[in-house]
Structure 1
């Protein structure tokens, strides 16, 4: 057989058949659900008298609408409480494993599945959430899907999908001090564009990714979708295996040895042929911040907001829209821009290593007067582990709020929202208009370390100055 990429191998292993449309009917190994995109899907099943075909391959949690300050039930938000009850009822009815608040394992769906060992190399994974690409960090092929597709997976454990091309994105070298996985992916998206990955799976390769921890790789794969790619992945290696070993759902004993052997075999072949290859040097990446209204509108912290003349003509209209919405002038520095809210959390940067790194910069500092700063752990386990290490005390002493797990101000389907035209320094993944709960609120995406720098200075700042 000719040399193949991991994407090709996993796709072929999970192909049930080719449909008359030319699409592949793909078996989905793991289906993750939450409270927002599943109620309608379960309702569709009931209307058709269908059951969940493989409930043991479906896992549920709650994250999007849960409050992070007071999680007492019933929720103050009536709609949020209805969504919670609908998921609780459906999971009970269909015998689906459910990690509810207080279970010890509740949290953001893309945080809990890896930490439980549910996410494994070679899997196909689907979830009714854009950032399902996160799970590709393990060498899985993971897709965000819509509500009708959630219904399809519940009923048939398969999806109808068109096969993607594969672009290899190589980053080589050691990242400079103060530069993180978030900066790497923002730099890639800035360079290739938010539509650059349309029709592609992104394979992240090179020595920079090889040196990254699993949680850093998850940050990168999480935002592959923001570059237009349908999924992103990293080939499994010893870092992957070390992370998974001993976790709740990881194979044990002899099964572990067999699993590692198979996981190793699905790595992209050395002579695999790619549809495209793009290379970057780690040394050339600086702390990166978005200035506009797409994740592709980013600059290094020491650069200025780009002028229309410096852009391709196709990008000028959205740049003009961004200048107006963000109240920024072309050619002006972003550094020094006042911030109102600083948020550390989300499925991009709400894991333990993110909180540890942020705490390094927060230790002994104080949040600037007039700035609301808060930290939201990605899961109950992350919260417990962070508290065991005393990270909560570091943040509290610095003037940050310490919250309960949830998606929080990433998308503001909960009480955590921007007010008016506040500016947020956010470790989340999207800076679209109104994304953080206010139709005029403005979002600047950056690494958790950079969020701490902004909180302490009260303005967009270079984290390297806090080193």
Structure 2
């Protein structure tokens, strides 16, 4: 039998029919929905008089538009956003689809909630109308984002017309140095291969550095791989991933042995051929900070904004010039020491309990610098409860951070957590596009400990230079 990649195994196991040489009908084990990509899909479904035949394989979450201000009861004040939430509730009620609504105790960001609930397991195909669905590759599941028309098709059939991707292997050996994290690793990878470096590919990660990462760190890695244009990201499930799944899915006990036997086969075969290969050494990766308006416009914390002449002529150079103008950072500017006015810690990239522990390790015993507003937004109700049980909320509050309710919050300007024009933010999110956090706002992507260091010093700071590491 021909040696197959992990990606090919997942695709083959879910192929309902071949449509042509490049496209298949793909069965989807789990479909996640949110409030902003589902309304038109449901409208199209109803116009055709169709139902949802497999409601149990769908889950809806209200996350992007909800306010995160402290308080027990949350009310969506914006009329348009409130309508999106009420429409989702009505559609889910009509079709018997589970919904984590605005004030549900388990509510949070879809990409944080689904694994917590044990809904994502190795070997699955998981889709959602959101690009960061690649997150689930950390558990050996093929996750990817889809469009509204595709959402409708999945609701009606639990299948998707799918163009098979090419395969890419990224091997990372060595160990990340103290002070560097999975966020720094993925930013460094983006900086090397570029924002289009994995376009059309599903990326599989391997190597000793990947083996050493926790499952939550792998979520971060797979989540941001889409920023290289990837159509998916995968890590073959190992003992860590399997332990995570078993801990979060107690219903698996009845068929544990069968599941384990199937999951052991979820790896690329010896001799499997990838369409592209890259290698990295984790040992040389320092904490990373973006300087521009694309996640691949990034340098190490001790680096500088590049000189335009150093960049390839054409779109890369012109994009860099526009980014420098937008971020108000001329070529040659050192990132370290750049003042910030806001710090945001959260998102589906870095809103999990390990991320909050890392940030709290920096905040403990320190205080937010004068003139800085710092916010911590847990990725889910479960993360918030866990952090409060550990006393992390008190650490942040004592240090002058805001402790918020879960949600997407300031990752994107779709709710009332929006930055004003010209405000510079150290952010643990996944995108630093123009206007992403507010019209004219400036975003610097970095890891949680680095963001906390910026909060307590008032400027972009090398966390390794603080007295203690998280």
After TM superposition, give the deviation of residue 249 of structure 1 in Å: 6.1
Q: Residue 15 of structure 2 aligns with which residue?
A: 15
After TM superposition, give the deviation of residue 269 of structure 1 in Å: 1.3
- 1:431-450 to structure 2, matched below 5 A, reads 431-437=432-438, 439-450=439-450
Equivalent position SS for 1:202:
strand
Q: Residue 463 of structure 2 aligns with which residue?
A: 463
Query: Partners in 1 of 2:440 and 2:201 — Cα distance?
Result: 33
Query: Partners in 1 of 2:248 and 2:94 — Cα distance?
Result: 28
After TM superposition, give the deviation of residue 389 of structure 1 in Å: 0.3
After TM superposition, give the deviation of residue 70 of structure 1 in Å: 5.5
TM-score (norm 2): 0.97
Q: Residue 385 of structure 1 aligns with which residue?
A: 386
- 1:242-261 to structure 2, matched below 5 A, reads 242-248=243-249, 251-253=252-254, 255-261=255-261
Q: Residue 313 of structure 1 aligns with which residue?
A: 313
Query: Partners in 2 of 1:20 and 1:170 — Cα distance?
Result: 32
Equivalent position SS for 1:223:
helix
Q: Which moved more, 1:307-316 or 1:121-130?
A: 307-316
Query: Partners in 2 of 1:463 and 1:53 — Cα distance?
Result: 51
Q: Residue 285 of structure 2 aligns with which residue?
A: 285
Equivalent position SS for 2:118:
coil
After TM superposition, give the deviation of residue 185 of structure 1 in Å: 0.2
Whether contact under 8 Å (1:136, 1:231) holds in the other structure is: yes
Query: Partners in 1 of 2:427 and 2:395 — Cα distance?
Result: 19
Q: Residue 410 of structure 2 aligns with which residue?
A: 409
Q: Residue 425 of structure 1 aligns with which residue?
A: 426
Q: Residue 62 of structure 1 aligns with which residue?
A: 62
Query: Partners in 2 of 1:390 and 1:85 — Cα distance?
Result: 35
- 1:292-331 to structure 2, matched below 5 A, reads 292-314=292-314, 315-331=316-332
Q: Residue 131 of structure 1 aligns with which residue?
A: 132
After TM superposition, give the deviation of residue 271 of structure 1 in Å: 2.3
Query: Partners in 2 of 1:396 and 1:73 — Cα distance?
Result: 20
Whether 1:86 aligns to 2:95 is no
Q: Residue 232 of structure 2 aligns with which residue?
A: 231
Query: Partners in 1 of 2:82 and 2:423 — Cα distance?
Result: 28
After TM superposition, give the deviation of residue 31 of structure 1 in Å: 0.2
Whether contact under 8 Å (2:70, 2:403) holds in the other structure is: no
Q: Residue 48 of structure 1 aligns with which residue?
A: 48
After TM superposition, give the deviation of residue 101 of structure 1 in Å: 3.4
After TM superposition, give the deviation of residue 203 of structure 1 in Å: 0.4
Query: Partners in 1 of 2:250 and 2:124 — Cα distance?
Result: 14
Query: Partners in 2 of 1:137 and 1:54 — Cα distance?
Result: 25
Equivalent position SS for 2:417:
coil
Aligned residues: 465
Query: Partners in 2 of 1:68 and 1:172 — Cα distance?
Result: 39
Query: Partners in 2 of 1:366 and 1:48 — Cα distance?
Result: 57
| Unaligned 5+ runs, structure 1 | none
Per-residue CA shift, 1:58-103, capped at 9, x if unaligned?
0111110010005745421111111111111111100011122343
Whether 1:374 aligns to 2:380 is no
Q: Residue 269 of structure 1 aligns with which residue?
A: 269
Query: Partners in 2 of 1:103 and 1:342 — Cα distance?
Result: 27
Q: Residue 104 of structure 1 aligns with which residue?
A: 105
Q: Residue 359 of structure 2 aligns with which residue?
A: 358
After TM superposition, give the deviation of residue 245 of structure 1 in Å: 1.3
Query: Partners in 2 of 1:111 and 1:409 — Cα distance?
Result: 16
Query: Partners in 1 of 2:274 and 2:38 — Cα distance?
Result: 36
Distance 1:157 1:341, change over 3 A: same
After TM superposition, give the deviation of residue 277 of structure 1 in Å: 1.3
Per-residue CA shift, 1:90-147, capped at 9, x if unaligned?
1110001112234321110000011111011111110000100001111111110111
Whether contact under 8 Å (1:197, 1:228) holds in the other structure is: yes
After TM superposition, give the deviation of residue 305 of structure 1 in Å: 0.6
Equivalent position SS for 1:167:
strand
Equivalent position SS for 2:189:
helix
TM-score (norm 1): 0.98
Across the aligned residues of Structure 1 and Structure 2, the Cα RMSD in angstroms comes to 1.2
| Unaligned 5+ runs, structure 2 | none
Whether contact under 8 Å (1:32, 1:60) holds in the other structure is: yes
Query: Partners in 1 of 2:417 and 2:251 — Cα distance?
Result: 35
